[in-house]
Amino acid sequence: MTMDHVAEKGLVLLGCGKMGSAMLQGWLGDGLPPASVWVIDPNPSDWLRGTGVHINADLPALPAIVLVAVKPQMMGDALPMMRDRGNGDTLFVSIAAGTPISAFEQALGGQTPIVRAMPNTPAAVGRGITAIIGNAHATPEQLDLADMLLQAVGQVVRLEDEGQMDAVTGLSGSGPAYVFHMIECMARAGEAQGLAPDLAMQLAQATVAGAGALAEAADETPAQLRQNVTSPKGTTQAGLEVLMHEDTGLPPLMARTVKAAAERSRELRNG
């Protein structure tokens, strides 16, 4: 299955908020014709109106793909209108956080091919990472298609079972917020050492963004990169001795942080 198949049969986007818009922008940029896209959204943005896609129009009978990008609380309204497209060849891809595959099978029919995906907010700038898992009815070709579509906003990884989605939520789903907070904390610490607030924030943002880009681009592991810049008895070592302390430092704090988010994800899943 290729983008040609999607262009021919049509793609339906249920919900077009920030994440849906980022994906749609990527697909249109990759050459998907606007005439092949149907968007259902109660409050379409000015940007969306200018794309040339079908907005809140009659949907194709058998689209290649339906991407569910509505907020979980709006799922109850959105899915029933799709029921007649379930149990067929239409692939449903959900990026709705916390909604399990079983809920889609219940709403759409047990034979429906479904892929559940968990993207994160850097998708808005094409730097997201999305984890996907398919149900028993999603074919390898359909998984490849979902993978290709989601690459419009960043990297894609595949999970072995849906239970791993809670850990993904705790690490990469919620993780951007942890990094944003780290930037805040670094900037405040710079202020405490005598820097003006704007300068401290600029230094913190550029440092975190630059280190992240270097970690992705370099062949060495992050541990090796850290060692490379840590000279014995130098300034970096002095800072790292505080940050890496096994009782009061970042390792136990980060373990508790990711665990708390993953456990909350499990609680929400289990109602």
Asked if residue 133 lies in contact with residue 156, where contact means CB atoms within 8 angstroms, the answer is no
Question: What whole-number distance in Å separates Cα of residue 79 and Cα of residue 104?
Answer: 8
Question: What whole-number distance in Å separates Cα of residue 114 and Cα of residue 132?
Answer: 10
Rounded (5°) CA angle 157-163-164: 35
- Per-residue confidence (pLDDT) for residue 71, from 0 to 100: 81
- Per-residue confidence (pLDDT) for residue 105, from 0 to 100: 94
Domains of the chain: 3-162 (3.40.50.720), 174-270 (1.10.3730.10)
Please tell me whether 16 is known to bind a ligand: yes
Asked if residue 265 lies in contact with residue 170, where contact means CB atoms within 8 angstroms, the answer is yes
- Per-residue confidence (pLDDT) for residue 1, from 0 to 100: 59
Asked if residue 116 lies in contact with residue 133, where contact means CB atoms within 8 angstroms, the answer is yes
Question: What whole-number distance in Å separates Cα of residue 108 and Cα of residue 94?
Answer: 13
Rounded (5°) CA angle 181-185-190: 145
pLDDT (tens digit, 9 = 90+) per residue, 73-99? 777 788 888 888 999 999 999 998 888
Please tell me whether 72 is known to bind a ligand: yes
Please tell me whether 233 is known to bind a ligand: no
Q: Which parts of the chain register pLDDT below 50?
A: none
Please tell me whether 56 is known to bind a ligand: yes
Q: Which residues contact 91 (CB under 8 A, 6 or more apart)?
A: 64, 65, 66, 113, 114, 115, 138, 142, 145, 146
- Per-residue confidence (pLDDT) for residue 271, from 0 to 100: 66
Please tell me whether 175 is known to bind a ligand: no
- Per-residue confidence (pLDDT) for residue 20, from 0 to 100: 92
- Per-residue confidence (pLDDT) for residue 241, from 0 to 100: 97
For residue 140 the two structure tokens come to 């390898």
Please tell me whether 15 is known to bind a ligand: yes
Q: What is the largest CA-CA distance in the chain?
A: 68
The count of other CB atoms within 10 Å of the CB of residue 156 is 19
Please tell me whether 42 is known to bind a ligand: no
pLDDT (tens digit, 9 = 90+) per residue, 248-259? 999 999 999 999
